[in-house]
Amino acid sequence: MASSDPPEIPDYKTEFLQSCLSANVLTFGNFTLKSGRVSPYFFNAGLFHTGSLLRSISTAYAYSIIDFLSNTQSPPQDFDVLFGPAYKGIPLACATVSALTALAPARFSSLSYSFNRKEAKTHGEAGSIVGAPLRGKRVVIIDDVITAGTAMREAIGIIEAEGGVLVGVIVALDRMERMPGSGDGAADRGSAIGEIRKRYGVPVLSIVTLDDLVGLLRGKGDEGDLKRLEGYREKWLATD
């Protein structure tokens, strides 16, 4: 039946998910998350530490950004700085700026990256920002996932304190689940990504979503993993 067919997704998303699976960045089992939930899958972007894997994730980020900028009718259409929160966001920002420049040099050759120090430097150039200064710049944050939104709000606070203007966020995976600690009422079933969108009025992109992963497993995954994943999605799916 057509309804059971896996949804078609762009090749770069499929290739990204395959890279995640082959490198055990994405694994299946029983994982207790920081929120206390027991998840049937775990995503660890810290394992993208080889040249080929870093190229895979940065290229997927780049294609996601280009697709959004090409298809959206809402401003802003461009940005000045890709900001990677310390620590996981640092290599992601650097590599993705390089990937964007390689894919669309006319548009992105002047794009900068920036990241924060965990502790402000008190000598030399001083300050807490490395890379491009943020004052007056249109900034997109890049990170791996948003779970509760705490780290993302901290990053936004840094950008605002430095005089930057947040215009978007991109993550590798949208888990599509409601925030930890939320209740059972319909009004309490929003996701951390949805909360960021509403609170700051900016687009929040992802390379892939939980639905993409379910679609991939329907096509060629383990039946047991698929059933557990679908059950988890049904239990915790956010309303936004």
Q: What is the pLDDT along the chain (240 residues), one digit of tens a residue?
A: 344 444 567 889 999 999 999 999 999 999 998 778 899 999 998 899 999 999 999 999 999 999 999 887 665 568 999 999 998 999 999 999 999 999 999 999 999 999 998 766 554 455 689 999 999 999 999 999 887 788 899 999 999 999 999 999 999 999 999 887 655 544 556 899 999 999 999 999 999 999 999 988 887 767 899 999 999 999 999 987
168: closest CA among 86, 61, 59, 44?
Answer: 61
If residue 31 lies in a helix (H) or strand (E), which one and from where to where? Answer: strand 26-32
pLDDT of 2: 40
Which active-site residues does the annotation give?
121, 123
28: closest CA among 237, 214, 178, 219?
Answer: 214
Are 119 and 104 a contacting pair, CB within 8 Å? no
Any idea what the CATH number is for the domain that residue 219 is in? 3.40.50.2020
Looking at beta carbons, which pairs linking 116-124 to residues 24 or more positions away fall under 8 Å?
116/83, 116/85, 116/86, 116/155, 116/158, 117/86, 118/86, 118/87
| Residue 46 token pair | 């810290």
pLDDT of 162: 95
Longest dimension (CA), the chain: 66
> What is the number of structural domains in the chain?
1
Are 128 and 117 a contacting pair, CB within 8 Å? yes
Are 148 and 139 a contacting pair, CB within 8 Å? no
68: closest CA among 39, 22, 34, 100?
Answer: 100
- Coil, strand or helix: which one is 154? helix
Residue 179: how many CA atoms within 13 Å on its side-chain side?
19
Domain boundaries, position 72: 2-236
For residues 10 and 77, give the distance between their C-alpha atoms in angstroms, rounded to a whole number.
Answer: 22
For residues 237 and 177, give the distance between their C-alpha atoms in angstroms, rounded to a whole number.
Answer: 4
